[in-house]
Amino acid sequence: MPIMKLSQSYFPKTGYGKEDVLNKLDELKQDMVPVEGGRFGMYSLKGNEDIQDIVEQAALKFFSFNALFTFMNKPAGQIEDELIEMIREIFHGSDDMRANFTTGGSESIYCAMKAMRDWARETMPHIKEPELVMPYSAHSAFSRGGKYFGIKIVRTPVAADNRVDIGATKAAINENTIGLVGSAPCWPFGVYDRIEELSELATEKGLWLHVDACVGGYLAPFVKKAGYELPNWDFTVPGVRSISADMHKYGYAPKPMSTVMYRGGDEQFHHYTVVDDWPCGAYFTQSLGGSRTFASTAGAWAVMNYLGEDGYVENAKRIMTIKQMMIDGLAQSNDLRTANTDLSLLIIDSPTLDITKVVAGMSQRGWSLLGNAQPPAIHLAIDPISDEQVERMLIDFYDVVEEVRSGEGEQQGSLSYSGGHGQSYTPKWVRQVLEILPKKLSK
């Protein structure tokens, strides 16, 4: 079946048959970069068909239900309440800990920033131009949120170990500062910021401390239970007022599913925006959006009940084992090196080669890799894949290194999110963004 287009119109005047439509989707899906098959960074449990099946089936059962209306449906409300209680236990929250569901890490961060700003308006009314201090390694969502909510983002240099520099943070705090940010761990370097020291500083200065645990929040508690040493970072640290953590990463919920948590009701009060200046009375929602799918919530509830603590701990052990296998395997190369990281993220750079050429060579072998632009490095988020897949990736790395060293691998790949990563097709919206990118970045 050709591309579904009649004459010059994409929107068909007469609809195609059901089988034609589904067959075309199957055809297109075959060409997509798979989330299984040894690609890291997709947070996939495809290797475990039982888990994948229960998540998909749970999501399908609530596919058509709008989560905006859980207040009108007791079963949906009960699922949300039970999920929040599980989350409270995982993050060591008190009985007063609060949580809201969002569509992803960025929205969770936006919600926390909005709550922080509104809290500051009430408790620090003299501040007219609020500032939020964070290390250079903090997620880009904070910078976007700053533009959305009128908060100046002050990024400080990281210390030599790529963690927050407490001295630099202290120096950046001024009369307009409303809060601090730490990551657990940060995405670019895979290390934990000094959350306990940030907590002491935030408490001393009367500031809001937000911990971004989007990538590792639903993995770290189980890695720790598996016997690995990790810094304290959650609500056990007294100065932490809010946490962002993605369930659709290592919680293995279907996308889109994230959480923003607050130490208590005093903090969550500022999360909500309630309005009544229209004919239908008071209106408020879980997060920034209105309508949202309940399928992700049902999938999250299902996988957490299915795996239980023991299942998540076993999965955490497997992830950390694979990470060590990768480190040991790459240690035999003089051209590739791995950085010290705290959890499941693995950073690979090269002291001798153009790492973008390594990315290109791996892309030709079917590996879709992202990374850091400054300094250039490959960035892997370890998934619980098989030993055979790990071995295949290591073999491909060594083959590519030999190609690049010999001069055969001359093509450069992209480490950024805007790169093509081997795709021959670039969506229209991406092409439009790339057209205006230089002008946007110059502002």
Q: Bigger pLDDT: 229 or 31?
A: 229
Cis geometry, peptide bond prior to residue 185 (ω within 30 degrees of 0): yes
Share of the chain above pLDDT 70, in %: 90
Degrees (nearest 5) of the Cα angle 93, 98, 203?
Answer: 65
Cα separation of 22 and 443, whole Å?
45
93, 104, 430 from 207: Cα distances, Å: 20, 25, 38
Considering only residues 65 and 94, tell me which one the structure prediction assigns the higher pLDDT: 94
Tracing tokens 């919530």 back to the chain, one arrives at 297
User: How would residue 205 be classed by pLDDT, with cut points 50, 70 and 90?
Assistant: very high
Given a cut of 60, whether residue 27 has pLDDT beyond it is yes
Q: Are 418 and 435 in contact (CB under 8 A)?
A: no
User: Exposed (0-12), middle (13-18) or buried (19+): which is 376, by Cβ within 10 Å?
Assistant: middle
The one-letter code for the residue type at 396 is: D
Question: For residue 160, is pLDDT > 60?
Answer: yes
Checking if the pLDDT of 225 tops 70, the result is yes
**8-19 mean pLDDT:** 84
Over residues 416-435, the pLDDT tens digits come to 554 555 555 677 877 888 88
Query: Which two structure tokens, joined as six digits, stand for 387?
Result: 């030993």
374 confidence band (pLDDT: 50, 70, 90): confident
- pLDDT higher than threshold 80 for residue 34: no
Contact 184, 192 (CB under 8 A): yes
CB 106 within 8 A of CB 122: no
DSSP assignment of 171-234: HH--TTEEEEEEESS-TTT-----HHHHHHHHHHHT-EEEEE-TTTTTTHHHHHHTT------S
pLDDT digits (tens, 9 = 90+) for 274-320: 999 999 999 889 899 998 899 999 999 999 999 999 999 999 999 99
Say if CB 163 and CB 209 are below 8 A apart.
no
pTM: 0.90
Span 92-118, mean pLDDT? 97
pLDDT one-digit tens code per residue, 49-74: 778 889 999 999 999 988 888 888 89
Q: What is the DSSP string of 379-408?
A: EEE-----HHHHHHHHHHHHHHHHHHHHT-
Partners of 171 in beta bridges: none
What confidence category does residue 38 fall into, taking pLDDT thresholds of 50, 70 and 90?
very low
pLDDT at 22 over 50: yes
Q: What is the pLDDT of residue 7?
A: 47
| Integer CA distances (angstroms), 294 to 7, 252, 285, 337, 362, in order | 38, 15, 14, 43, 37
Q: What is the structure's pLDDT at 433? A: 80
Instruction: Check: CB of residue 155 under 8 Å from CB of residue 138.
Output: yes
pLDDT score, position 35: 42
Return mean pLDDT, the chain.
Answer: 90
Residue 233, pLDDT above cutoff 90: yes
